Amino acid sequence: MSILVVGSVAFDSVKTPFGEATDVLGGSACYFSISASFFAPVNLVAVIGDDFPQAHLDLLQEFPIDLRGLQKVPGKTFRWAGEYGFALNEAKTLDTQLNVFESFKPEIPAGYRNCEYVFLGNIDPVLQRDVLSQVSKPKFVACDTMNYWITSKLEELRKTLAEVDILIINDAESRMLTGQPNLTKAARTICSWGPRILVVKKGEYGVAMYTDGSIFGAPAFPLEEVFDPTGAGDTFAGGFIGYLAKRGRLDDETLRKAVIYGSVMASFNVEDFSLNRLKRLKHSEIQERYRQFQALTHFEADHSL
Amino acid sequence: MSILVVGSVAFDSVKTPFGEATDVLGGSACYFSISASFFAPVNLVAVIGDDFPQAHLDLLQEFPIDLRGLQKVPGKTFRWAGEYGFALNEAKTLDTQLNVFESFKPEIPAGYRNCEYVFLGNIDPVLQRDVLSQVSKPKFVACDTMNYWITSKLEELRKTLAEVDILIINDAESRMLTGQPNLTKAARTICSWGPRILVVKKGEYGVAMYTDGSIFGAPAFPLEEVFDPTGAGDTFAGGFIGYLAKRGRLDDETLRKAVIYGSVMASFNVEDFSLNRLKRLKHSEIQERYRQFQALTHFEADHSL
């Protein structure tokens, strides 16, 4: 079944200790869409300016991504510039130009309104709820957010959280949202606000998923070269939601597999700048890395004590 | 088979956001010994001053720990004082009084020299090699170290590493030792220096083990209350080496189980100050938490792509 995603399409300029890239394709909706499209068709809702080149649209259309919800308006496309040190877990934002994204008002095309799976990328929580008001009874809704909304619109964010099934954020956001340094306690608090599933991304330290009565922990894939972490979180969300949509189930076994597929997709994404690695990714490589994740984490039962 | 451990016995004074404890029993050799003794008998080599109370010796003797190698000399026992903030991964050292530990010269009693399993706790790398010169062909040697020796005695440390099978350190030490921010690359470098197995402790983010041709990753046990992380690393090493000694094997399956038992022991240790939790720990609790680790990390194979 199709997935509806609402988020940003951007030009990113990124510096890492390993190189730099200027005005390359980025944005949460791009990373999410291409990643998810390996698992299920995606309907994309976002905004671009009239400076957005046809080549990028052509790239997106090489994947099963529907672009009828991609508004093109006069002005410049959203731009972000950031830098990473050797501690690749955290970006230093150098410049943000919202441009056409500043007045973005998501309009869900009629053909998208029956999507069963919805991912609300990191946008104003008021707009996230506005999107939900335009769709009819999705099977599940997942969302992301960031420190900016946690500090500036906490009340609105809490209202959005009351309407979603799955929240996917990083460990710092989880602590900030609850004021609770212990992640396990923070998870319990967040789940009492609405989401029945919380997925906490910890960058190079992996992922923890909290559901009612179960915690799942998975390490990140041990790479010798992390080239550019930009978009890793949205690429994770794409693999995670993509697999859930493909299976059409939310049981514990399926959710755990989805976390691994999300981790697999993120591990590929950081191997190159922008969407360069995802562009040339093959299904067989995804499947092979899933197997490597099993080899990485497996241990046998023991009853010797 | 018995394990030989050489390390420190100390009085610790610890402040955490959850309380404080003054002049309580600590030191790498104590945490290691009590933890390992749940799996195999331990022979302890360390030094104490004449201020060391009989009650602490009585406690150690409640476990299968041989104290013939515990030297009592005139003077005061080693004292350490530290503080943790809400980020419990890192201690701030407030005070270190080496006292009798300053002139510690490990003497291995005749009855210990045939120990097949040796753990060289965090002491001067010159002394670590001196210990090895006093034992006869152990089956394996594991060692720990710290930032102090990495910066002040790197050459001596490298000589020690050339003689050990397993190095157990934390992620910051691993990066400092190699000047390499990427842990996977750092592991390859360290293993080229001698140890065929590297275990990297990442505190609340779990453990990674690097062996020839295999990487194993395990999350930490998700606790809602981490009371005091002091000694977690040595308690991990105790469970890890203890299980290996109990099984008498170093194959990949056994090593992975040992990482989990180490993680189990560390997860109990941080639930209370000093050795208070280990003191009252039951074998059945260890076995139960091992099972919980399986539930935490397990996911099924998938071939749906």
Residues from chain B that touch A214, judged by Cβ atoms under 8 A, are 295
Distance of alpha carbon A62 from the chain centroid:
20
Q: Do B304 and A181 touch (CB under 8 A)?
A: no
Q: Do A305 and B247 touch (CB under 8 A)?
A: no
- Reading phi first (left if > 0) and then psi (alpha if -120 to 50, else beta), residue A272 is in beta
Q: Helix B252-269 crosses helix B28-36 at what angle (to 10 degrees)?
A: 120
- The Cα A196–Cα B222 span in angstroms is 18
Residue A108: per-residue pLDDT: 98
Residue A88: per-residue pLDDT: 73
- The Cα A74–Cα A96 span in angstroms is 19
Q: What is the pLDDT of residues B277-290, one digit of tens each?
A: 999 999 999 999 99
Residues from chain B that touch A218, judged by Cβ atoms under 8 A, are 219, 297, 299
Residues from chain B that touch A211, judged by Cβ atoms under 8 A, are none
Tell me what the pLDDT averaged over chain B comes to. Answer: 96
Please tell me if residue B260 touches chain A, with a CB cutoff of 8 Å. Answer: yes
pLDDT above 70 as % of chain A: 100
For residues B129-147, average pLDDT = 96
Token look-up 């191997």 returns: A271
Give the gap in angstroms from C-alpha A170 to the nearest C-alpha of chain B. 14
DSSP helix/strand/coil, A218: strand
Residues from chain B that touch A219, judged by Cβ atoms under 8 A, are 206, 208, 217-219
Residues from chain A that touch B186, judged by Cβ atoms under 8 A, are none
- The Cα B123–Cα B143 span in angstroms is 9
Residue B67 has pLDDT above 80, yes or no: yes
The residue ranking higher by pLDDT, B85 or A12, is A12
Residue A90 has pLDDT above 80, yes or no: no
Q: What is the pLDDT of residues A134-163, one digit of tens each?
A: 999 999 999 999 999 999 999 999 999 999
- The Cα A232–Cα A84 span in angstroms is 13
Strand order in the sheet with A79-84: A19-26, A10-16, A79-84, A91-97
For residues A47-61, average pLDDT = 97
Of the pLDDT bands very low, low, confident and very high (cuts 50, 70, 90), residue B232 is very high
Pairing between strand B10-16 and B19-26?
antiparallel
Please tell me if residue A151 touches chain B, with a CB cutoff of 8 Å. Answer: no
Please tell me if residue B292 touches chain A, with a CB cutoff of 8 Å. Answer: no
Of the pLDDT bands very low, low, confident and very high (cuts 50, 70, 90), residue A303 is very high
Of A18, A22, A25, A20, whose CA–CA distance to A8 is shortest?
Answer: A25
Residue A305 has pLDDT above 90, yes or no: no
For residues A214-234, average pLDDT = 94
Q: Do B217 and A216 touch (CB under 8 A)?
A: no
Residue A1: per-residue pLDDT: 81
Q: Do A222 and B183 touch (CB under 8 A)?
A: yes
A 87-146 residues with CB < 8 A to B? 87-88
3-state helix, strand, coil in chain A (%, to 5): 40, 25, 35
Of the pLDDT bands very low, low, confident and very high (cuts 50, 70, 90), residue B27 is very high
Please tell me if residue B282 touches chain A, with a CB cutoff of 8 Å. Answer: no
* Phi–psi pair at A146, nearest 5 degrees: -150, 170
For residues A101-117, average pLDDT = 96
Please tell me if residue A246 touches chain B, with a CB cutoff of 8 Å. Answer: yes
Beta-carbon count within 10 A of A87 CB: 11
Residue B90: per-residue pLDDT: 76
Token look-up 């995603």 returns: A5
Pairing between strand A197-201 and B117-120?
unpaired
Q: Do B305 and A299 touch (CB under 8 A)?
A: no
Residue B91: per-residue pLDDT: 84
Q: Do B260 and A38 touch (CB under 8 A)?
A: no
Sorted by sequence, the CB contacts under 8 Å of residue A105 that are 6+ apart come out as A127, A130
Sorted by sequence, the CB contacts under 8 Å of residue A251 that are 6+ apart come out as none
Q: Do A224 and B184 touch (CB under 8 A)?
A: yes
Of the pLDDT bands very low, low, confident and very high (cuts 50, 70, 90), residue B93 is very high
Burial class (CB in 10 A: 0-12, 13-18, 19+), A173: buried
Q: Helix A183-192 crosses helix A171-178 at what angle (to 10 degrees)?
A: 60
B 6-45 residues with CB < 8 A to A? 38-39
For residues A18-24, average pLDDT = 93
Q: Do B296 and A256 touch (CB under 8 A)?
A: no
- Pick B226's closest partner by Cβ from A39, A182, A253: A182
Residue A291 has pLDDT above 90, yes or no: yes
- The Cα B37–Cα B242 span in angstroms is 7
What value of ipTM does the predicted structure carry? 0.93
Tell me what the pLDDT averaged over chain A comes to. Answer: 96
- The Cα A222–Cα A237 span in angstroms is 19
DSSP output for chain B: --EEEE---EEEEEEETTEEEEEEEE-HHHHHHHHHTTTS-EEEEEEE-TT--HHHHHHHHTSSEEEEEEEE-SSPPPEEEEEE-SSTT-EEEEEEE-GGGGG------GGGTT-SEEEE-SS-HHHHHHHHHHS---SEEEE---HHHHHH-HHHHHHHHTT-SEEEEEHHHHHHHHT-S-HHHHHHHHHHTS-SEEEEE-GGG-EEEEETTEEEEEPPP--S-----TTHHHHHHHHHHHHHHHHT--SHHHHHHHHHHHHHHHHHHTTSSTTHHHHT--HHHHHHHHHHHHHHH--------
Question: Please, how many CA atoms are within 13 Å of residue B265, restricted to the half-sphere of its CB?
Answer: 32
Q: In this structure, what token pair is assigned to residue A194?
A: 């609405």
Q: What is the pLDDT of residues A160-185, one digit of tens each?
A: 999 999 999 999 999 999 999 899 99
Alpha carbon distance, N-terminus to C-terminus of chain A: 48
Of the pLDDT bands very low, low, confident and very high (cuts 50, 70, 90), residue A225 is confident
Residue B88 has pLDDT above 90, yes or no: no
Token look-up 């999300």 returns: A262
- Pick B290's closest partner by Cβ from A39, A87, A302: A302
- The Cα A301–Cα A290 span in angstroms is 21
Q: Do B216 and A299 touch (CB under 8 A)?
A: yes
